[in-house]
Structures are given as structure tokens and as C-alpha cells.
């Protein structure tokens, strides 16, 4: 925080209101050349809004923005990009059916001319790739890439536009540990060349790892600014939530019961027709949490989709409570009492345009309690939903509120409420706390532990190693569609798990 240093960005007195909500209140934010500045705060603290204003995505109601010393009126992202500001959102802005190269040049001059100058663009792209170690095949179609690779495309896109102020909105939320490391290396090489990076996050470890400076937002205001070297996780945690947040998970020791989920010799292919699962064997007992760790893209998604009934395996047997699961049939999974928490709750799990109540009854609206001769029993349904909203403490205007009006944590609570309502025999939770803030995460963890105590067997698929270690009784690691190794959670070492995750056998 050297005041004499020249700022590349100065936002002063920024206020932004959305109808009745004030997202940013008189925020002042400076960014210096050659630094990685972390913008830390819980979900809803106003981090993304502030950066969307800098990116020209929102207009602020009050305040001024100076970029490289000049006052900037930003009415669209293109105004920001022309001043060297780029932003990579959590949800990527890529065209899945186009190639990496085509995505890179969209909207640039070489993409605007009637005749594409792909040759020059390719040279430029390859040069950038080499310079920053972002290796991707320029001709690969984006839909075939993993999330981590797609993020690289987004970074390349920004660099191609000569962006020297790069904003990244929770870039690690979708990445596995190794991919995160790679990203961090890229970011460091960017700032070494004098570029500046704003790193939006609510993950304290990462903020400590990567940033030079931390700006903490709470309730739309800046509450603190620290040089990373002079602060600690504990201090940042307190600043961020105003309370001690280090999660304290108390797990009762329970004797596991009979097998509720048995997977034998499971094989599957992915969307690219490549083997995704290779002779996978797994089993989960009652009152037991089996954690699957692993870098994303090693078959976890395919495994969960097969279990959910959303994908056909090529071969293998899956039994729930001893009964075979019918493949490609979500109805079969529901009937066999599987509680399913998909990693993609917005597109797969929930009907965002319908009401909370309509989401809660999705799986049991045909059960005898809720209809007679196809006529829905409104009173019973209302009672059921109100009870769930109360039991899960879901923050919503009511059961008839449209689901998309809920926050991320409350969306996941709706998901859990629906999936756990029937007292499932087995729960498959895929990335259950991805993108959630600390409060919601704690809540979800408690619920999962309650299910374990109730007697369910739980398969936890997560890229968050802390989560896997905190919740699991046993941990296995998936690598290239196979189980690399497994251990009892208390005896497992992070080093060993890490080696397995990178494909090293002991």
C-alpha cells in the first residue's frame, strides 16, 4: 500500500444499487501495476458486482473510475477491453461448437473482417501460448475441453486482446488442485510482465497463496486492506465474516452396516467416445461416507451421471440395497431410494423458472400422498413444502417464489431438501459445496453427516480435498477412470492422496 505508487485502476466512491439492494456502498478500490490483488468476501459481499462495474458490465450509480490515470466512462465491456481491462467470469463466454482459435478471435478485428485472417491469428495465438505456457490445441472444439482447459482459452482470449488488467471471478471454483497450481503459475507470469490481476475469491488458502495484497469486502463495503505478507488466514477469516469460521466438524464414530451401494466392473465412455471408467469397483456401506478425491475429468462426472440415471455405462453392475439399478433411468434411481446431489444444480438439478414448491415435489409428485387420479393434492403439497422450507431454513419469499430468485446456498438447500426428504438409502453427492460460501458449506456438511447418522451410505465426490478429508470415513482416489488407491480417512496422508491424484502409484 504505497500511496506514491502509480495506480493502473482507481475506483472511487462507487455505489451500485439493484432496486432495493445496495450491492456496493461508497467503495474505493485501487490496483497497482504488477500485482495480484485478491478481492475477498463471502457470497453476496459485492465482489463480482464491483468488478463488473470496472468491466463496464454494470453502470455504477455513483462514483468515478480512472484507468491508467484517465477518467473512464464505461458503458459496455468493449469500452473496458479497449482500455486493457479483461474479465473472466465464473460462467465462461465461449462458443462450445467453435474451435479454440475461432473463440479467441471473436469480436476482435481479425474476427470482424469479412475474410478471416486465421493464419496471422494462429501465429499470434501460438506465440501467446508459448510465452505463458498455456498449451491447448488451437483446433480443438471448445465443448471437448475440460473446464480447466476452457479457462485457459478464456485467458488466451483476454491476452489476445492485449489486456493488461485481468479480473478473474473465482477462477479456482471449478478447478482441481493441480489445475489451480497451473493457473497460479500463469497468473504469476502475467504479473511478472507488469500486468495486474484481480483475483476474486472466498477461499482463504488460495488468497494467501497467490495474492500480493488483499481487499476484503463485507456487505458491499470495503472493511479492510492488507498486504498478504503481513496478515494471516485467521485474521482474514475474521475480517471476511466477522466471526471465527474455521469449520469444526465433529464426526461420531459409527459402525458401518450392510452394503447399500455396490459397483462392480463398471465401464463407460465419455462424450468424446474415449474410455471414462475402466473396470471400476466401489462399495459403500450404511453409516459410512466414502469420499472420492481426484482431479476433475478423471471420470467422476461420468460415474455420477451413470449413478443418477443420466448416462449409460458400456458394461458393469450397480446395485442399490441389493437391487440392480436400471441404466439410463433416473426414475429407477429414485425408486431405489437414491438421494442425488448433482454437481450441476442449475442445469440438471433444479427447475430454475418454476417455484420452490414445484422443485420440491419433482420426484414424488406421482406418489399416492400427493395426487389422486392425476389430480394434485394442493394442501398436502403445500404442507410438505412449508415443512421442508422450515426444516432446512431456506431463505425464500415462500414456497411459490420463483427458484431463480434464491441465492446459491439456498438453491443447494432446496436440492438437499428434495433429495433427502424420502430418507434415501444411499446419497450420491457430487461437488455438493462447489461455489458456496462458508456458512452454506458448513450447513451442507452438517446435513451430510446427519444422513450418515440416520443410516444412509454416502458417496461423496469432491475436488475439495479439505472437504473429502473432513467428511469421509474412507477415501479413494480416481485417476483416468480407475481407482488409484484408497485409505481409511484417519490414516490417509495428504501426500499419498496427492500422489495418487497425479497418477503416481506407490
Partner 1 sequence: MIRFRIEKRKPLPGWAKIIIPIAAIVVTLILSAIPILIAGGHLWKSYFYLFYGALGTRFNLLETFVKASPLMLTGLAVAFAFRAKFWNIGAEGQLLAGALAATVLGVHMGAVPQPLVLPIIIVAGFIAGGIWASIPAILKTKLKVDDVVSTLLLNYVMIHIMGALLFGPLQQPGSSWPRSSAIIESAQYPVLLMRSRFHMGILIAFLAVFVIWFINKKTTFGYQSKAVGVNIRAAHFGGINTTAVILWTALISGGLAGLAGVGELCAIQYRLIMDISPGYGYSGIVIAMLGNLHPVGVLFSSLFFSVIIVGAQTMSRMTGVPTYIAEVIQGMALMVMLIFLLFTEYKLRVVRK
Positions that interact with partner 1 (CB under 8 A): 19, 59, 73, 75, 308-310, 330-331, 333-334, 340, 342, 347-354, 358, 361-363, 365-366, 371, 374-376, 378, 402, 405
Nearer to partner 1, 202 or 345 (CB): 345
With a CB cutoff of 8 Å and minimum separation 6, the contacts of 399 are 355, 356, 357, 360, 382, 385, 386, 389
Over the range 427-461, which residues count as b (16 or more CB within 10 Å of their CB) and which as e?
bbbbbbbbbbbbebbbbbbebbbebbeeebbbbbb
Tell me how far, at minimum, the Cβ of 139 lies from partner 1, in Å. Answer: 26
Tell me how far, at minimum, the Cβ of 353 lies from partner 1, in Å. Answer: 5
Nearer to partner 1, 239 or 357 (CB): 357
Tell me how far, at minimum, the Cβ of 418 lies from partner 1, in Å. Answer: 9
Task: Find cell 474455521 and name the residue.
Answer: 246
Cell of 330: 433416473
Q: What are phi and psi of 101, to 5 degrees?
A: -65, -45
Nearer to partner 1, 188 or 323 (CB): 323
- Rounded to whole angstroms, the Cα distance separating 239 from 207 reads 13
Tell me how far, at minimum, the Cβ of 158 lies from partner 1, in Å. Answer: 24
Tell me how far, at minimum, the Cβ of 329 lies from partner 1, in Å. Answer: 8
Nearer to partner 1, 278 or 365 (CB): 365
Q: Residue 130: is it exposed, middle or buried by C-beta count within 10 angstroms (0-12/13-18/19+)? A: exposed
Nearer to partner 1, 120 or 331 (CB): 331
Nearer to partner 1, 244 or 347 (CB): 347
With a CB cutoff of 8 Å and minimum separation 6, the contacts of 383 are none
Nearer to partner 1, 295 or 428 (CB): 428
Tell me how far, at minimum, the Cβ of 429 lies from partner 1, in Å. Answer: 15
**From residue 476, how far is each of 115, 279, 487 by CA, in Å?**
52, 15, 6
With a CB cutoff of 8 Å and minimum separation 6, the contacts of 391 are 417
Query: If phi over 0 gives left and psi between -120 and 50 gives alpha, with beta otherwise, what is residue 337?
Result: left
Q: What are phi and psi of 2, to 5 degrees?
A: -95, 115
Tell me how far, at minimum, the Cβ of 318 lies from partner 1, in Å. Answer: 17
Q: What is the CA radius of gyration of the chain?
A: 24
Nearer to partner 1, 244 or 353 (CB): 353
Query: If phi over 0 gives left and psi between -120 and 50 gives alpha, with beta otherwise, what is residue 466?
Result: alpha
**From residue 139, how far is each of 114, 126, 145, 359 by CA, in Å?**
21, 11, 11, 40
Tell me how far, at minimum, the Cβ of 354 lies from partner 1, in Å. Answer: 6
- Rounded to whole angstroms, the Cα distance separating 342 from 414 reads 13
Nearer to partner 1, 147 or 402 (CB): 402
Strands 426-430 and 338-341: parallel
Tell me how far, at minimum, the Cβ of 81 lies from partner 1, in Å. Answer: 17
Nearer to partner 1, 18 or 453 (CB): 18
Q: What are phi and psi of 81, to 5 degrees?
A: -60, -40
Edge-to-edge strand list for the sheet holding 62-67: 21-31, 9-18, 62-67, 70-71
Nearer to partner 1, 205 or 405 (CB): 405
Task: Find cell 494467501 and name the residue.
Answer: 208
Tell me how far, at minimum, the Cβ of 408 lies from partner 1, in Å. Answer: 17
Tell me how far, at minimum, the Cβ of 349 lies from partner 1, in Å. Answer: 6
CA dihedral (409, 412, 414, 417) positive or negative: negative
- How many alpha carbons fall within 13 Å on the CB side of residue 256? 17
Nearer to partner 1, 113 or 405 (CB): 405
Q: What are phi and psi of 166, to 5 degrees?
A: -110, 125
Nearer to partner 1, 251 or 326 (CB): 326
Over the range 334-373, which residues count as b (16 or more CB within 10 Å of their CB) and which as e?
bebbbbbbbbebeeebbeeeebbbbbbbebbeeeeebbee
Tell me how far, at minimum, the Cβ of 331 lies from partner 1, in Å. Answer: 4
Tell me how far, at minimum, the Cβ of 402 lies from partner 1, in Å. Answer: 6
Amino acid at each position: 500500500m504505497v500511496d506514491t505508487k502509480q495506480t493502473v485502476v482507481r475506483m472511487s466512491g462507487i455505489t451500485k444499487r439493484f432496486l432495493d439492494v445496495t450491492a456496493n456502498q461508497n467503495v474505493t478500490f485501487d490496483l497497482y501495476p504488477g500485482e495480484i490483488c485478491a478481492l475477498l468476501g463471502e457470497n453476496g459481499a459485492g465482489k463480482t458486482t464491483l468488478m463488473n462495474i470496472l468491466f463496464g458490465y454494470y453502470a455504477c450509480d455513483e462514483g468515478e473510475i480512472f484507468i491508467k490515470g484517465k477518467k473512464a466512462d464505461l458503458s459496455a465491456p468493449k469500452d473496458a477491453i479497449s482500455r486493457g481491462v479483461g474479465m473472466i467470469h465464473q460462467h465462461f463466454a465461449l462458443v462450445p461448437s467453435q474451435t479454440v482459435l475461432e473463440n479467441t478471435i471473436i469480436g476482435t478485428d481479425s474476427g470482424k473482417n469479412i475474410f478471416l485472417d486465421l493464419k496471422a491469428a494462429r501465429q499470434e495465438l501460438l506465440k501467446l501460448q508459448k510465452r505463458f505456457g498455456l498449451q491447448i490445441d488451437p483446433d480443438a472444439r471448445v465443448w471437448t475441453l475440460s473446464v480447466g482447459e476452457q479457462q485457459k482459452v478464456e485467458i488466451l482470449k483476454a491476452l489476445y486482446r492485449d489486456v493488461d488488467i485481468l479480473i478473474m471471478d473465482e477462477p479456482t471454483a471449478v478447478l482441481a488442485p493441480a489445475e489451480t497450481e497451473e493457473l497460479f503459475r500463469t497468473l504469476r507470469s502475467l504479473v511478472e510482465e507488469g500486468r495486474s490481476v484481480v483475483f476474486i475469491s472466498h477461499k482463504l488458502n488460495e488468497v494467501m497463496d497467490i495474492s500480493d495484497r488483499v481487499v476484503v469486502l463485507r456487505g458491499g463495503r470495503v472493511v479492510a486492506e492488507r498486504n498478504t505478507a503481513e496478515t494471516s488466514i485467521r485474521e482474514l477469516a475474521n475480517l471476511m465474516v466477522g466471526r471465527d469460521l474455521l469449520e469444526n466438524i465433529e464426526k461420531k464414530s459409527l459402525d458401518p452396516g450392510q452394503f447399500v451401494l455396490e459397483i462392480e466392473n463398471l465401464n463407460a465412455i465419455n462424450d468424446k467416445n474415449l474410455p471414462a471408467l475402466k473396470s471400476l469397483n466401489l462399495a459403500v456401506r450404511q453409516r459410512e461416507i466414502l469420499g472420492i478425491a481426484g482431479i476433475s475429468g478423471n471420470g467422476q462426472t461420468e460415474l455420477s451421471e451413470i449413478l443418477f440415471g443420466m448416462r449409460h455405462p458400456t458394461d458393469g453392475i450397480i446395485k442399490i440395497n441389493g437391487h440392480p439399478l436400471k441404466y439410463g433411468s433416473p426414475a429407477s434411481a429414485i425408486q431405489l431410494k437414491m438421494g442425488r446431489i448433482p454437481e450441476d444444480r442449475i442445469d440438471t438439478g433444479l427447475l430454475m423458472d418454476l417455484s420452490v414448491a414445484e422443485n420440491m415435489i419433482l420426484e414424488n409428485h406421482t406418489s399416492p400422498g400427493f395426487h389422486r387420479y392425476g389430480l394434485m393434492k394442493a394442501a398436502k403439497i403445500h404442507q410438505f413444502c412449508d415443512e421442508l422450507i422450515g426444516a432446512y431454513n431456506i431463505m425464500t419469499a415462500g414456497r411459490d417464489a420463483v427458484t431463480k430468485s434464491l441465492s446459491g446456498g439456498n438453491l443447494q438447500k432446496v436440492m438437499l431438501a428434495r433429495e433427502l426428504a424420502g430418507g434415501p438409502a444411499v446419497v450420491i453427492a457430487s461437488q455438493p459445496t462447489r461455489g458456496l460460501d462458508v456458512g452454506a458449506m458448513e450447513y451442507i456438511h452438517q446435513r451430510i453427516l446427519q444422513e450418515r447418522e440416520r443410516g444412509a451410505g454416502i458417496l461423496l465426490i469432491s475436488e475439495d480435498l479439505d472437504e473429502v478429508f473432513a467428511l469421509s470415513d474412507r477415501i479413494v482416489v480416481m485417476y483416468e477412470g480407475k481407482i488409484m488407491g484408497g485409505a481409511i480417512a484417519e490414516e490417509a496422508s495428504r501426500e499419498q492422496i496427492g500422489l495418487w491424484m497425479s497418477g503416481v502409484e506407490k
